[in-house]
Amino acid sequence: MKAMVYTQYGPPEVVRLQEIDIPMVKAGEVLIKIHATTVNRTDCGFRSANYFIVRFFSGLFKPRAKILGCEFAGEIEAVGGDVSNFKPGDRVFGYDDTHFGGHGEYKVMAASGALAMIPEGMNYIEAAPLTEGSHYALGNIRAAKVKKGDTVMVYGATGAIGSAAVQLLKHFGAYVVAVSNTKNVELVTSLGADEVIDYQTQRFAETTHRFDFVFDAVGKCSFHLCKPLLKSKGIYISTELGRNSENVWLALFTPMGGGRKVLFPLPTINQADVLMIRKLAGSGDFKPVIDRTYPLEQLVEAYQYVETGQKTGNVVITLENSDRL
C-alpha cells in the first residue's frame, strides 16, 4: 500500500511517499481502507516535535509511529475475531492519536476505539475532519463547565478547533462572541456566533462583555490580556502552553485563589465522544469547515500550508483508493 512515512523528526520534507505492507488485523481490531484524512496541528506537532514533551509519547529520539494522520474516514475492509460492532463495508470515521496511520491507504485500530459510522448523507471528505478540532473543543468546553446562558468568547474562531467550538457552544446554549479576521466574519456568523469581533478593525479587549469562559483556540492570546474580560469566577483556557509554559503553571496556582482562573485540561477522546459528534453532525448542529483538499502525494505541501497558520477550518487529504469521495 502507499503511505506517507517519516522516520525522523523535522520539517514537512521529512515525510516521503513509500510502498509498505498492508497491516494485519488482529482480534478486537478492524482494518480500515482510508478514503480521506486530514493534516492538523496534532500531526504537525508529532512530526516536528518542536515541543520536546511530544517525544515522551512518540519516541525520544525517533518516531515509533511512522505514519501520521490522526483522523480519517474510510471503509471497513476486514474485522478481527470478537468484533461485533462493525462489519466489512461499513463507512466509518474516527480518531487515533496513539497509533495514527491515516496518511496511508490502510490502517488498523481497536473496534472499541474512537470510531463510529459516518452519518447518512455525508461523504468521506466531509467526514474526515469530524473529530480532531471538535474533540479538543469539546474537552475544553466540558472543563469550563459551560451551561446554558453562559457568555463565552472564542478567540481564533476560524481554525479547526475554534470553528468547532463556536458550533458546540451554541449547541450547549451559550452566548458566543467570536474573534475573527475580516475575511471570515461572515463565515463565523454562519456558524452561529451571536457577535463577531473583527480583530483587524477592533480591539477585542475593548468589548463591554464580561465572560464566564474565554477560550483561546489558537494559543495566541494570554491570561494577562483576557483576565479583565472575565467575570469574578471566569475561566481562561488556551490550546497552547503559552510563553515559558505559563498556562501550565497558571493552571496549578490560579484555582487556589477562588476567583478568575486558568485551566489546562489534557485532551481525551473515546467512542462515546465520537458517537456524540456523529449525532451532532447528523442533526446539522456541527459541520466541519473545510479550507482545501490535497491528494496524498502532496502531503508535504499540505503540511507547509497548515504551518503558515493561515488555514480556515480543516485541510483534507484524499486518497486514490476511493472512487466514492
Q: Is the pLDDT of residue 54 over 90?
A: no
At 53, is the pLDDT very low, low, confident or very high (cuts 50, 70, 90)?
Answer: confident
pLDDT at site 323: 46
CA 294 from centroid of its chain's CA atoms: 18
Predicted confidence band of residue 145 (pLDDT cuts 50, 70, 90): very high
Q: What is the pLDDT of residue 184?
A: 96
Q: Indicate if the pLDDT at residue 325 is higher than 70.
A: no
pLDDT the model gives residue 11: 97
CB-based contacts of 30, cutoff 8 Å, min separation 6 = 76, 77, 78, 79, 80, 83, 86, 92, 108, 109, 110, 111, 115
Distance CA 146, CA 213 (A): 8
3-state secondary structure of 3: strand
Cell of 81: 475475531
For residue range 207-216, list pLDDT tens digits in order. 999 999 999 9
Cα–Cα distance between 31 and 25 in angstroms, integer? 6
Contacts (Cβ under 8 Å, ≥6 apart) of 121? none
Please give the DSSP secondary-structure letter assigned to residue 20.
Answer: -
What is residue 60's predicted lDDT score, i.e. its pLDDT?
92
Q: Which residues of 86-123 are buried (b: 16+ CB within 10 A; e: fewer)?
A: beeebbbbbbbbebbbbbbbbbbbbbebbbbbbbeebe
Query: What cell numbers appear for 143 in the block?
Result: 472543563
Q: Is the pLDDT of residue 162 over 70?
A: yes
Give the model confidence (pLDDT) of 60-118 as tens digits: 999 999 999 999 999 999 999 999 999 999 999 999 999 999 999 999 999 999 999 99
At 322, the pLDDT band (50, 70, 90 cuts) reads very low
Mean pLDDT (the chain) is 95
The HSE-up count of residue 286 (CA atoms within 13 Å, CB side) is 31
The pTM for the full model equals 0.94
